[in-house]
Amino acid sequence: MLTFALPKGRMLQTCLKLLEEMHMPCKKIEKRGRELVIEEEQVRYILVKPMDVPTYVHHGVADAAFVGSDVIWETGASLVEIADTKEGLCRLAIAGPKSLAERFMKHKSSLMGIKIATKYPRITKQYFSHRGIQPEIIPLKGSIELAPILGLSDGILDIVQTGETLRANGLHVLEEVAQVSLRIVANNKSIHEHWDKLIRFIEKTRILKERKHR
Amino acid sequence: MTKIPIGCRIYSGPKAESMEEARNTFLKVFSAFGYKVFCPSTIQLVSSCWSKLPSTIREKLLVLNTPHGEAACLRPDLTLTAISYISSHYAPQERPLRICYADRIFLGPEEPETNLERLQLGAELIGWDGNGADVEVISIMFKVLDLLGHRDAQVVIGDTNIIDFMLKNTVPNIAKSLRDALLRQSLAEYYNTLEKHPVPDIELSALLALPTLKGKRSILNKAESLLPKGTPLSDIKHIISTLEKMGYGERVSVDLALSRKLNYYSGPVFEVYSPRAGKLLGGGGRYDSLLSSYGIIGQAIGFALDLEEIALVKETKIGSNSIMIWSGKTPPEVAMTRADLLTDKGFNVELSWTENRQHSIDLAKRRKYKWWLNALTSKIYDLEEKEEHELIEWLGKEQETC
């Protein structure tokens, strides 16, 4: 039995579509009620919060999972990234009001102590540390764009898809931190134990990508 | 409430017993094969270890100042400690050296973990060239795992020389990206790098195939047809075929892209897992280049197992071998004589000094002991089956069963 963790929320539909394209059994999960554990043929699916997916895989509760590359980086979990689905494409970026853009154009010393509101404190710390800047991090759970508008922070580090929410709140992308996409990951032990099943994900992801490029 | 620091744990009861059993079995078996038990200092000087530690360990050191004003740290790694000791305490002609240990290491947590200390079982064979060393270490490790009830534990073997060979003609910065991706265990980044950067077709097909070459021995035949001529597969083939001859064939598999996190490995590497544990039990490999950094010429192979993971899966079956001895109104020396008799025969005992018979029986049940002995009458009761036996007769039967 292969245990597969799926992120609840907006990425779930994309994951189900991918499972279907990879010929994985997923009829029951499409018709699910409020259950969080669904078994179908030789696969057990568990539905968890996106930020918790790496934890389930890291501890071996789930053998494999779909998870965003931003979440993998933020949790720091030790996982095997077996394939990049190239779905759920977006980017992690630093954004802020125009006035902040000037500080980003000056010497890095002008950014020392910059206040950044974010759902990604670990990424923020690492990103600025690598540039020799110590930021003041304000961890928030949502509506990050509010923080600089109300003076809680100088800027934000967050996911940007179309940039419309930023524009609507008078914010601009100042720096791109990383490209984000949906990855298929596996537990360090499961990669050996279930390789015969997991290799299908690499092969089928490649086939799907090639089909897309045609 | 008595709190302990975040990331530390206290073990007691069956878990502690199971860990102690694993520790003793490990050291006993390796000692029988000539491995000397090594007990290093928990506190080390930063100045002695700093230059040899990889940056990933340096940034997680737990540092302190000794009352003597010396900058020190809690021991972060046992292999480095052992090699450092051997390099300065043994003459070259004394090699090969074999050491084993069961001790703690202390490091800042690797997210999302919080633990600051880990208990490791490990062994190192230093200064012997050839595949015999790899097979020796792996097969004794199997022996220990079997004794501890991990008869389903599996070993996955790779070889860093294969990855080096595959990347030797690749443009250096692309080779570095590919190597880093394998070290980070990101096949997604590995394939993304191959997609983005032009690699000659002749190399591309082999590089694409490399991470998929995992599985049982037959995968080596596939590797021979897919990988370029001259790929150094002989070491891994020899190790696997020898382990097969020793009866471990079903428990060994291959992963030709296997990279261990610590970058001091320079030859065959391996990881150990149990289908019943959520995480790897441990791993190891050859580390010739680490030796040379300490001025030792030759090869070494070593491994470490996570004692907690091993004990987590296999917990000692409590009670079946334990006897509560009720002294009642018998003099203590009589109860102690009974206890000596039973412990000499290999049983675990607990003495119950209460005068209340029922209290003593109730305590034995709470402890989940199977047996309760009345020291005065020398009658032993099976608390599960509710049967009574004469101690001497019962001992005779038990010995026969054993």
Q: Is the pLDDT of residue B312 over 80?
A: no
Interface probe for B, chosen from A84, A196, A200, A206 (most Cβ of B below 10 Å), is A84
How many CB contacts within 8 angstroms connect chain A with chain B? 73
Buried b (16+ CB within 10 A) or exposed e, B210-231: bbbbbbebebbeebeebbeeeb
Residues of A in contact with B212 (CB under 8 A): 199, 202
Q: Which CATH architecture has domain A90-179?
A: 3-Layer(aba) Sandwich (3.40)
Q: Is the pLDDT of residue B315 over 70?
A: no
Whether A187 sits inside 8 A of B278 (CB atoms) is: yes
Tens-place pLDDT, residues B218-258: 999 999 999 988 999 999 999 999 999 999 999 999 999 99
Do A2-88+181-211 and A90-179 have matching folds?
yes
Tens-place pLDDT, residues B326-372: 998 888 899 999 999 999 988 889 999 999 999 999 999 998 899 99
Which among A55, A82, A184 has the least Cβ separation from residue B112?
Answer: A55
Domain positions in chain A = 2-88+181-211, 90-179
**Range of A20-24, A97-101, B17-21, B22-26 with top mean pLDDT:** B22-26
- Please list, in sequence order, all residues whose beta carbon lies within 8 angstroms of the beta carbon of residue A97, skipping any fewer than 6 positions away: A148, A155, A170, A171, A172
Sheet strand arrangement including B371-374? B348-352, B322-326, B371-374, B379-382, B387-390
ipTM confidence score: 0.85
Confidence of residue B51 (pLDDT cuts 50, 70, 90): confident
Which among B188, B211, B279 has the least Cβ separation from residue A188?
Answer: B279
Name which CATH class applies to A2-88+181-211: alpha beta
Whether B277 sits inside 8 A of A189 (CB atoms) is: yes
Tens-place pLDDT, residues A14-32: 999 999 888 888 888 877 7
How far apart CA A51 and CA A35 sit, in angstroms, is 19
Residue A98 sits at the vertex; the CA angle it makes with A92 and A101, to the nearest 5 degrees, is 65
Half-sphere exposure of B47 (CA within 13 A, CB side): 4
The pairing of strands B371-374 and B379-382 is antiparallel
Q: What is the pLDDT of residue A211?
A: 66
